[in-house]
Amino acid sequence: MIMKRTIAAVLMTVATVALAGCETQSESQQRATTGALIGGAGGALVGQALGGNTASTVVGAAGGALLGAVIGQSTTPQPRGQQLCRYRDRNNGNIYTAPCDDRYYRRQY
């Protein structure tokens, strides 16, 4: 009984510290962290279901955490004015990137 209470107290402390650390992170970092947590949990479940042993669970958790972090970070929306668009030069046909203009934001591209 005492062991269960100790484990519960440790888990609550870890969760509190983890959530408090999110306050100082940027949105991109928060999304990467959330993606890693969700991906790791999902990967662990899939690894356990497929392999049925500890090694497959650990590999699934690591792979899921990596994939979740990459997807979470890459799907962070950029603030207006910081997004880059591709443009084609009308004179020579070269393609270049530059900050998006108002046509992009009004969906008139």
Mapped onto helix, strand or coil, the DSSP state of residue 85 is strand
* d(C-alpha 89, C-alpha 85), whole Å: 13
Q: Is the dihedral of CA 34, 35, 38, 39 positive or negative?
A: negative
Q: For the chain, where are the alpha helices, taking DSSP H only?
A: 2-21, 27-51, 54-74, 102-105
- pTM, rounded to two decimals: 0.57
Determine contact, residues 35/64, Cβ cutoff 8 Å. no
Res 28: pLDDT:
83
Q: Could you report the per-residue pLDDT of 58-92, keeping only the tens digit for each? A: 999 999 999 999 999 888 877 766 778 888 888 89
**Max Cα distance, the chain (Å):** 78
